Amino acid sequence: MKELITFTLNGKPVELNLDSDRILLWILRTDLQLTGTKYGCGESYCGACTILVDGEAERSCQLMLKDVQNRSVVTIEGLARNGKLHPLQKAFMENDALQCGYCTPGMIMNATALLKKNPNPTEKQIINGMEENLCRCGAHKRIIEAIRVAAAEMGGF
């Protein structure tokens, strides 16, 4: 069923008149050409498709378009502000917290939500918060470090 869905995407209003049962991940990637959000498993196991919906980390492979009606969606493309990287993006770069980079957008989006909820996480809280995001290259150690560094830089805000 075609339906008019309006939401905020990376700070800008979007109106889509589409079958509102379609999966958000594919709408982001194809209709909206935001390919930073990745398909990894389609079953919410891996977290490569993680985005923010009203500030919470969500798996876009599990959301339908209608689920974001009147809500605010942020993808990896919307994280930098005016060309300035988000502290997490900067920390991932500077701490070599990535290898192939395919899980990276999902990791950063999940960590963004994590730090929003808990600005001063302990290492254990970072690990618990990231546990459901998978990386196959084995960059985990440096991802934890990057999140710690970003949290410190953000000064608990």
Closest separation in Å from C-beta 121 to other proteins:
12
Tally of residues, the chain:
157
Q: Which residues of this chain interact with other proteins, rule CB under 8 A?
A: 22-23, 26, 29-31, 33-43, 45-46, 48, 75-77, 79-80, 85, 89-90, 92-94, 96, 98-105, 108, 126-128, 130-144
Residue 56 or 94: the one with the smaller Cβ distance to other proteins is 94
Residue 56 or 96: the one with the smaller Cβ distance to other proteins is 96
Q: Give pairs for 53-62: CB < 8 Å, separation 24+.
A: 55/113, 55/116, 56/113, 57/109, 57/110, 57/112, 57/113, 57/114, 60/23, 60/24, 60/25, 60/28, 61/23, 61/25
Closest separation in Å from C-beta 155 to other proteins:
21
Closest separation in Å from C-beta 116 to other proteins:
18
Q: Is the dihedral of CA 73, 104, 33, 26 positive or negative?
A: negative
